[in-house]
Structure formats: structure tokens, C-alpha cells
A and B are shown apart, each in its own frame.
Chain A
């Protein structure tokens, strides 16, 4: 008569079991074999992230023609990633994350990589354009940089980085070109058109006799340019219309090349000491600049 019904005795045990199952979902345990199949270890997550990054790299190469890493390094990274995925299946760790978390992480990484890839591609294009300009005689000056050597560089933002990082991504990745001087007769309209690849140019000086009126009239609009000097007789009304679109322009100088010995005119201001002209990736081991002329 005083005996309790079985259901009242069993109830607490069933409740403990449910609680334990629920705890498995949120707390790491040693019972890895009882994990549901949708759980991934951190190693597996790392493998999948690497696989995603490689996929982005491959897409960037075939869709945009931008080679983020070399072919050999890409093959090595792919082999390592596949190996990691294979190994990760047999190595189990206590801490797991859910598939949803994994997807969120990969999505965020993919978005970040997309912005990074776009910036890196633009910087690489700028570096290539500056390389062509400097090789043909232009004088290029990057932003303010500190002590530099082949081993280490100090970027415009004050970061210290190994020199090979700059070689890999290009000088423009860390220090965008600020000043450009087109002062050789060999520099023509095609060189002027390369300005479209330069993103943060602040000062442009055009002295080359090889640039035509048509080239000047079709000069790419560099939005942030503040100082423009055109030392050429080729400035036309169409050129002025082009100049009128440079909304950040603060100083404009339109002159004609002066014959030797002719007087008058205002003196040309020299480049700022911190903006010494240098060709990209041409630094000596002592930190001095090597001219590419």
C-alpha cells in the first residue's frame, strides 16, 4: 500500500540520461566514438578552411588571372591539405564545433579573402605598372617609409615586415605610389595610360615630349591627385576638361618646356626628402637607394 509506483522511481534516472545527452552537445567529452557524425574536429575544420582558401586561389587565378601564389607552392599546399583531411579523420580531439559554426567561419573567411584578394590584385597591378614606368625612365616615389634593407622593411603604416613579404606582394601592397614624374622623351601616351592602375597617386609631373595632346586629353582620372604639373605644350581645351574632373586638385602648374638659358618662371620645388625617388624592389643591403637609370 505504501509502495511507490515504478514510474515515480524511474523518472529521475531518465531525466539524468537526457541531461547527459544534452551535455554532449555543448561540452567536450572523452567519448569521441559516441559523437554524432555531423561534428568536426578542429583539425578537420582547419583542413576544410585550407581547402576553401585553395579554392578561392584557384578561382582568383582562372576568373581574374591573378596569381596569388606560385604554381609550385599551390601544388604543395593542395597536397598538404588533402593529406591533412585524410589524417584528420583518424585523429580525434575533445573539443568539437558544429557544422553550422564551421560554415559561418568559412563564410567569414571567404568574405575576408575576397577583399584581401581584390586589394592584393590592385596592388599587384600597380606594382607592375610602376615597374614598367620606372624601367622606361620615370621617377616614382612611394609613401613615407622608414629604414629599409633587404631583410626587413618598415611600411607606411609603421609595420615591420620581412623583405620577402614585399617581394611577394609587391611594393605597392604596403606603400602605395604617391609621386610620379614622367620626364623622359621615351615616355609616351601608353605610359600615361598606365596611371589608371595607380590608386593613391598624389603628385604627378609630366615633362615628357613624347606625350601627345590626344594622350593628355585621354589621361586617366586619378581621383586623389593633389598636385599636377604639366610641363608640355600639348595642353589643350580637352585636357583642361580632363583636369576639371580632378576634384581633389590643390595645385596646378601648366607650363612649357623652357629652352636652356631662358629666364623667368617659378622655381620647381624638389620632392620631399621622405619621398625619395626609387624604383621598386631596388634597395641595397645598407638601406641606400639604387637608381634604376
Chain B
């Protein structure tokens, strides 16, 4: 999957029983700018994102997923500050980052 646009993300967000979503692209910096469309979901509990062009701005859009309790970020471009900001906004959501970011506590 090379790209996920907002319409595609909204389609996934409308799935009434979707609990776990894994989006993985081995093409580094593939486009995932439409990830904000997932913000409409109220069922997704765990989200795993790998090898996408996923930064602090995209991570911030996930704050609106009320049902979320786990986020796995693998080979993304999030920074320690971005993760800290997310944790401050959603303290009950566990954020796992790989590879570990220097200066960021593993949760």
C-alpha cells in the first residue's frame, strides 16, 4: 500500500466493528496524509503504522479516536516532542515507537 488518502481512511473508520488496524508499507515515506480520516472512528483500539511518512502532525490527528488505547509506530518520522504531546493529550493510550527515540521513555 503506497498511499492512504482521506476518503480511504474514512471508509475504514466507518467499519462498525473494526478493533485492530495495521497499515504497513515497506516503501519508506509512502504517503499517509489521509490518516486524519480515521479520527471519525469510535471502535479502533489498536493502531499499528509502519514505514509511512508519518510525523508529529499525523500523530496529533489520532487524538480524536476516542476508543484508541494502543499505537505502534515503526520506522516513522515522529519525534520525542510529538510523542510527548500525544501522551499528554491522551494519557491512557500506550505509544510504542520503534526504533526507540533517544530521550523518550518507553511506555
Contacts and interface: CB of A to CB of B under 8 A. Distances in A.
Interface in A247-291: 247-259, 262, 264-266
Contacts of A247: 15-17
Contacts of A243: 11-12, 15
Nearest to B15: A249
Contacts of A241: 11
Interface in B1-51: 1-2, 5, 7-8, 11-12, 14-27, 48, 50-51
Interface residues of A, number: 27
Contact of B20 (A230, A246, A252, A259): A252
A135 interface: no
A18 interface: no
B24 A253 contact: yes
A16 interface: no
Given A243-B11, A243-B12, A264 B18 contact: no
Interface residues of B, number: 28
A240 B15 contact: no
B90 interface: no
Interface in B57-105: 72, 74-75, 98
B91 to A, nearest CB: 24
Contacts of A265: 24, 26, 50-51, 74
Contact of A255 (B12, B14, B24, B75): B24
A13 interface: no
Contacts of B5: 237
A246 B15 CA distance: 7
Nearest to A251: B20
A251 B12 CA distance: 11
A256 B14 CA distance: 23
A262 B51 CA distance: 11
Contacts of A106: none
B8 A237 contact: yes
Contacts of B12: 240, 243-244, 252
B24 A254 contact: yes
Given A235-B1, A250-B19, A266 B11 contact: no
Contacts of A256: 1, 24-27
A158 interface: no
A250 B20 contact: yes
A248 B1 contact: no
A264 B51 CA distance: 8
A233 interface: yes
A249 B75 contact: no
Contacts of B27: 256
B26 A258 contact: yes
Contact of A250 (B18, B24, B26): B18
Given A237-B8, A244-B12, A255-B1, A266 B48 contact: yes
Nearest to A266: B48
A94 B53 CA distance: 86
B18 A249 contact: yes
Contacts of A264: 26, 50-51, 74-75, 98
Given A233-B2, A235-B1, A240-B11, A262 B26 contact: yes
Given A255-B24, A266-B22, 4 more contacts: A246-B15, A250-B17, A252-B18, A252-B22
19 contacts: A237-B5, A237-B8, A240-B12, A243-B12, A244-B11, A247-B15, A247-B16, A250-B19, A252-B18, A252-B22, A255-B1, A255-B25, A255-B50, A256-B1, A256-B26, A258-B26, A265-B26, A265-B50, A265-B74
